[in-house]
Amino acid sequence: MSTETSSLPIGVFDSGVGGLTVLRALKRALPAENFLYLGDTARLPYGTKSGATVARYALQTTRVLVDIGVKMLVVACNTASSVAMPGLAEAYPGLPCTGVIEPGAAAACACAPRGRIAVIATGGTVRGAAYQGAILRRRPEATIATRPAQLFVSLAEEGWIDGQVVTDIARRYLDPLMAEFPEGGPDCLVLGCTHFPVLAQAIQGVLPQGVCLIDSAETTARWVAEELGVRKLLRPDGDGTGTVRFFATDDPERFARVGEIFLGEPLSASDVNLVDL
């Protein structure tokens, strides 16, 4: 692969700011890489849209990134990952592409010696059964229980990541889910929404001892790093620390304000480019 191609950025998109947890993990795993991040904030949430609509949105957002120039695409949205991957592969057959579901499912299977896996996500992801399908393809004997945890999205965007209110809500969601696994609970819990990693400490605090948290942002970052290495697409370390360009389809001020929570570092509205799809 040419040096010119390996120097291109990695494209990342989500319906909004939740995918910034994936970008945060990618930056840690690949500090020399450049990134483009696009949040389709004008049309969020994707979870309430039909699969056909989300697939169309994914193609439109990807076109923006491809036109700028990227060497890999990361779909940092569980809803889009569950419905849009075939269309993206068909439209861009030469572009390496991953969503967050397959890496998360693979990690869950690897961390589940008894094949007992719990999943929390938004309602749309749970209804679409994408994690269940990805897990069962790898572990047909697995026992899987899922639960929507929509309030976690609102808590994350408000920056409410700890305290008694957060703990109480986590128990309301997770105690019934854990009860579906008698004799000690599941082997692991998949955080099946990119908003959820910022609540990981609170979630872990109400889980039975020994239940492993699967952060699909971290697992996706590891997959991307391995894939870039295999394809000889890694940017040379000698080229310096990578950069990020941010794009949003609406309200850069809110994108920056809320995005800081997920990115874990300061983000100014002046850093966010407004684009029209």
CB contact at 8 A, 125 and 193: yes
Biggest alpha carbon–alpha carbon distance for the chain: 55
Tell me, yes or no, if 193 is annotated catalytic.
yes
Cα–Cα distance between 43 and 238 in angstroms, integer? 39
Residue 277 one-letter amino acid: L
Catalytic site residue from 77, 97, 109, 188: 77
CB contact at 8 A, 113 and 187: yes
Tell me, yes or no, if 188 is annotated catalytic.
no
User: Is the previous residue joined to 45 through a cis bond, with omega within 30 degrees of 0?
Assistant: yes
For the chain, give the number of residues: 277
Residues recognised as catalytic? 77, 193
